[in-house]
Structure 1
Amino acid sequence: MSKSKNSPLSRRSVLSGGLGLAGSSALMATGASGTAHAAGSPQPSERTTAWQTSTSANGWQVTDHDGIAPHRVEGSPMTVSLRSGDTATVLLHVARRYFYEIDSELKTEDITGHSTDRAVAAAFESDYLSGTAIAIRPHACPLGADGCLFPQDVDVIRDILADCEGTVRWGGDEKSPKQSHFQIDVTPGDPRLARVTAKIHSWQATPGKGAGTIDAFVPQRLRAARDLAHTQQRAA
């Protein structure tokens, strides 16, 4: 078990895998599995479903391989398969900051991206089918489990989301939470995605900017992050 940079204890609660259900007209029941959930969290549903439409819940084209490639999370030992282009740039920024600021012991096996398995337990999990979502330690933070992360970790996640200007949604804000999940939250062609990508590229080209240089606990950043959180939580 990894050690926290800010605490002698683990920065996460280790949980066994669990599943939940979010209703959607695009879902069709196919099976069930055992579950586990965090103390005090709602018991998730055991039912899994098969995603039936050609686009994922966030509006991107489902694909088995077209446009999908392995991408390295810069500064870490991790690689993850994602839709190439702006979506990958933004999700890799999320993963990189998570590695630097929350858990520097992450390895490739701790992150998942594109999947061809249409069995999902919540509509937003279909976003893996389009290569536009990642899950970081999904077995430690399964669907339906709450309280997997320390409050200071959540503050960092909120700051990362603020960096992304609403183009990324966190699974912790869903009605049935999945705190390991991060998805692109705009549809193809949305100008905000290109704007955030350009900002990330400019940080990467400028020493002292971007991931690895950010203090998420500066009061101004905390306020901005919490304002965005209130907006995204109301949209859940």
Structure 2
Amino acid sequence: MAIAICPVVSSQPTALASELNQEVYGYSLNGWPIHNPADDVSTVEKCDISGISSSCEMRIWDVNIVLSDLVRQMHYRVKDIRSGEISGWKDVTEAAIQTPYSNLSSGTALQIRPSMPLDSCFAYEIQILEEVLKDYEGVVSWGGVMDKKDESLFYINTSPNEPLFIKVAEKVRV
């Protein structure tokens, strides 16, 4: 029996994201443009996460607002996060392009303790994590429930103009 820890807005990527992702690989699976932080026009930057001494490369503006808040919540409610335990943007790879890992290349995902062994979360940590994810109304998904489980992966699972994403970002911002 599968347990959905974080309900997704859609079980499938949007038609546009899926089409563009498959045809030109210019978009991550969630429909956001893939970026190279070295580009002058990139919207992916190294972002400090206020409240804890950590930072990672992620998309600025609303994605930064939501993912930084998630990291703070994980730090304070689940387990302390130390400097160097968060990994953000990664260059896109052919193996990752049709998976949620492609979201790392658009700056809309991050990994908390990416080197931790599989199934290293305690039951009480997962229970708190479930509560934290509910605050994001399905906009943030956890890799711990993917077919190929990755408990370190957290990602925005909506396209940029999804009204629910905008609503959640506004709620977190306040």
TM-score, with normalisation over the residues of structure 2?
Answer: 0.79
Deviation readout 1:61-108 (Å, 9 max, x if unpaired): 00102101121222111011110111111111111111112222x223
Report the equivalent of 1:107.
Answer: 82
1:180, CA displacement in angstroms? 0.5
Q: Tell me which stretches of 4 or more aligned residues in structure 1 moved more than 4 Å.
A: 24-27, 119-122
Deviation readout 1:139-163 (Å, 9 max, x if unpaired): 104xxx3x22011111111111110
- Conserved in 2, the CA contact under 8 Å of 1:80 and 1:108? no
Report the equivalent of 1:77.
Answer: 53
Q: Which has the larger radius of gyration?
A: 1
1:118, CA displacement in angstroms? 2.1
Which amino acid letter does the alignment assign opposite residue 63 of structure 1? H
- Conserved in 2, the CA contact under 8 Å of 1:62 and 1:129? yes
Question: What is the aligned-residue RMSD (CA, Å)?
Answer: 2.0
1:117, CA displacement in angstroms? 4.6
Percent identity, aligned pairs only, is 26
* Number of aligned residue pairs: 150
Paired with 2:141 and 2:165, the residues of 1 have a C-alpha distance of 13
Paired with 1:57 and 1:163, the residues of 2 have a C-alpha distance of 23
- Conserved in 2, the CA contact under 8 Å of 1:82 and 1:132? yes
Report the equivalent of 1:45.
Answer: none
Q: Which moved more, 1:106-115 or 1:123-132?
A: 106-115
Tell me, which stretches of 5 or more residues in structure 1 are unaligned?
1-23, 28-51, 203-236
Alignment counterpart, residue 186 of structure 1, candidates 144, 158, 166: 158
TM-score, with normalisation over the residues of structure 1?
Answer: 0.59
Report the equivalent of 2:11.
Answer: none
